[in-house]
Amino acid sequence: MRRSLGLLLLICAVGLAQKAPTLPGTDPAVAGPAAPGPAAPGPATQGGRGGTAVAPEAPGSGRGRGATAAPATAPGPKDLKYPPARTVQIPAFTTFTLPNGMKVCLLEDHELPVVTGSVLVRTGSLFDPPERIGLAQLTGTLLRAGGTALKTGEQLDDMLEALGAVIDSSIGESQGTVTFITLKENTDRVLVLLKEMLTQPGFRSEKLESTRGQVRTAVGHRNDSPETITTREMRGLVYGKDTPFGWDAQYGTLDRITRGDVRNFYQRYFFPANLIFGVQGDFDSGKMKATLEAMFADWTVQQKPVPEFPKVKIAPSPGIFLAEKKDATQATFTIGHLGGQHRDKDSAALEIATFILGGPRGRLVERSRVKMGSPSEIRVTWGVAPDHQGLFQLTGSTRSISILETIKIVQEELERLRTAEVTEDELRLARETAMAKAIAETDSKAKIFSTLLGFEYYGYPKDYIQERQKALLAVTRADILRAAKASIVPANLTIVVSGSPMLFGDSLERLGPVTKLDITIPQPKGELAESTDTSLAQGKQMLQKAQAAIGGADRLAAVRDYSMVAQYQIDPAIQSLGGSKITQTDRWVSPTVFRQDSVLPSGAVAAYTDGKIGWIYTPQGWGALAGSQAKQVFGDLFRIYFRLFLSDRLEGRTINAIDDTTLQISDATGQVCSVEIDTQTGLPRKISYDTPQAAGPPIYTEEVYEDFRDIAGIKIPFKFAINQAGRKFADVVVNEYKMNAGIKPAELAKRPQ
């Protein structure tokens, strides 16, 4: 997304990150000391942290005169003095509710000529239907990227760039967020665009498909990182993979999501009484209130109250689990169980305990350094969430040969934390680190205001910032011991290891029974959309309208053969073939004889089928049509233009309306594709389907049609773009198209010499 340089500089100056308001400490931090030393006032005084003191030279004892000053004793950590933590000053802000039910919070800040805002929506992926996991994520992205009813996403980009402004949208686990930042003089115009997004989103189909493709690509790469594997599997095991806290989007759940699903999700949760709108920056509160009242006066949509978010299932899943990754050179692990919430009385003590365990000077690193000669990287978090239990996790990596020793060290240190008080030095350093983190989270008006919006959203008291800091300062050694005994339960620990067992120094079974995890990514199956008698009837009506727009069902049925010669310009970003031009000739004889001939940079390729069997020819020779190549050819045969739009006349085919503009066509062999109809012309605008691959999952593919020309009374697209996984693959131009030229099946069956 494009952003003007001037605005980016202002963003840096303000110190704002465009992110959803949250409670302080919600995002897990890497444990470790972060207490700064005092500033150096002069040349002969103490320097920063780790510095040494230097005594002044005696009179007449310059360099080279043989006399040097005796060095002063370097102060240790105990000798450093720190000023008391400052008290957070809560800025005064205005809160009111608009007549339509939308709550508004305003904070004036005239330091810079910038205005920022956040709209918080009570929704989240916790409300995803089990069969459509990923719906909230797609909706959150499309709210901005999908444009509005009046403007495309690209038009919004251009307008915002000209205004020096940014608007973003997203939906997370338990919060939807729309944020903006703009120069003061453009505030009203940006608010108009923001209102248009909130009240008239476009959710354009092409953006849904490109966004879906990007998320599908991420699904395909979810096993690339060992740490991603262990933390994901830990979450699924502890929360339960059948719950919204523990499940993940899959190809199938993403493919089921329609534009209608996105619209319905939006309509259920985006209404005034379900929003909190916070605005902060250089404005007059009275004028801003009047502006918002007038602007949103006509948005009076109502819905029944949103239900509570699902509750976490308290069901420990202890044990040792192995996610085998044979190509891994190191072993990665995540160990833990359920954590807590911000409101828990021991939250502060357990947060400080994590800094004692983890971090560059934590117990775990020191133990692994002493015992194994090289420290393992281990991060510890006592996960707290504002509205449900988070996860207590210890995540790290080590040499594969040391994995058992490392796990034993973790187990021993957890038991030590539960059975003996920490030292005064450990408590002091950990408390200073925790306080430094807490202060950094509230070191500007913008951060404080963002936090206060989070309080309002999650129902926390407005003085929670101060109370949290007081709680951190009040933690004692006895508090940590008591909290660790009560909240860290060794018998409930889930241990997930990712790596190659062949490289482990010893079998994990020395620690106990091991359960192997299946981390295979479920492959898409071209699943069918849900159908009813109504949707099936609507699907046939939509197909018949498309037939009429193309030229009529009778004309389509009269086509007995065709040939097409097209030029494919492969996108430069595509590996191997990027930038290439490919000439492809398709020939078909009714009903199922089909042949493709392609001229690639590497040579000629041909494929043939009679609808049952076939052959393929490459520069290396020819062979039987099989595997992914057969699936691709049979998919192309299924989507032959004349047959596809006569699917209501072909036995075994089903036509089902997915929404008002999209129908799904399938057959008994498992072939499936979606057809989007242009509402203005009635012609097919786009066809989407899965393309099988020789290795890896199928790729979501779409053909976007344009430049329709009349050939013997039938409208044929002479240009189309091919997108795969949400990215451009090729632009195609048809050079020649012939119908009913008398092609003989025997001609197509003849193999190249």
Q: Which amino acid is at 719?
A: K
At 576 the three-state DSSP class reads coil
Give the C-alpha separation, 540 to 665, whole Å: 10
3-state secondary structure 123-187: CCHHHCCHHHCCHHHHHHHHHHHCCECCCCHHHHHHHHHHHCCEEEEEECCCCEEEEEEEEHHHH
End-to-end CA distance of the chain: 52
Give the C-alpha separation, 168 to 141, whole Å: 8
Spatial CA neighbour of 715 closest among 674, 673, 682, 679: 682
Q: Which amino acid is at 316?
A: P
* Cβ atoms within 10 Å of 8's Cβ, excluding its own: 13
At 670 the three-state DSSP class reads coil
Spatial CA neighbour of 235 closest among 141, 163, 339, 107: 339
Give the C-alpha separation, 345 to 597, whole Å: 72
Give the C-alpha separation, 546 to 615, whole Å: 34
CA 363 to chain centre: 34
Give the C-alpha separation, 309 to 123, whole Å: 9
Rounded to 10°, the helix 363-372/403-419 angle is: 140
Residue 575 zone, left/alpha/beta (φ > 0; ψ -120 to 50; rest): beta
Q: Residues 278, 8, 195, 127: what is their CA dihedral angle, to the nearest 10 degrees?
A: -70
pLDDT at 369: 77
Give the C-alpha separation, 264 to 658, whole Å: 13
694 CB-contact burial (10 Å; exposed 0-12 / middle 13-18 / buried 19+): exposed
CA 458 to chain centre: 23
pLDDT at 698: 82
* CA angle, 383 then 493 then 333, to 5°: 75
Tokens of 668: 């008994």
Give the C-alpha separation, 221 to 492, whole Å: 30
Q: Are 343 and 505 in contact (CB under 8 A)?
A: no
How is the beta sheet containing 103-108 ordered, strand by strand? 94-97, 103-108, 275-281, 114-121, 176-183, 166-171
Number of H helices, E strands in the chain: 21, 26
Give the C-alpha separation, 206 to 212, whole Å: 10
Give the C-alpha separation, 484 to 488, whole Å: 5
275-281 and 103-108 strand pairing: parallel
Spans of the chain, pLDDT less than 50: 1-19, 25-71
Tokens of 422: 């920490």
CA 461 to chain centre: 30
At 643 the three-state DSSP class reads helix
Residue with tokens 């009385």: 345
Phi, psi of 588 (to 5 degrees): -140, 140
Q: Residues 276, 277, 280, 282: what is their CA dihedral angle, to the nearest 10 degrees?
A: -160
CA 385 to chain centre: 19
* CA angle, 435 then 438 then 444, to 5°: 125
714-737: pLDDT as tens digits: 999 999 999 987 788 999 999 999
* Cβ atoms within 10 Å of 198's Cβ, excluding its own: 23
Rounded to 10°, the helix 403-419/477-487 angle is: 120
pLDDT at 49: 29
Concatenated DSSP letters of 604-620: EEEEEESSS-EEEEETT
Spatial CA neighbour of 367 closest among 393, 394, 336: 394
Q: Residues 640, 644, 650, 656: what is their CA dihedral angle, to the nearest 10 degrees?
A: 150
Contacts of 360 (CB under 8 A, 6+ apart): 32, 33
Phi, psi of 634 (to 5 degrees): -65, -30
Q: Are 121 and 177 in contact (CB under 8 A)?
A: yes
Instruction: Please confirm whether the linkage preceding 591 is cis (ω < 30° from 0).
Output: yes
Tokens of 21: 């308001």
Q: What is the DSSP letter of 401?
A: G
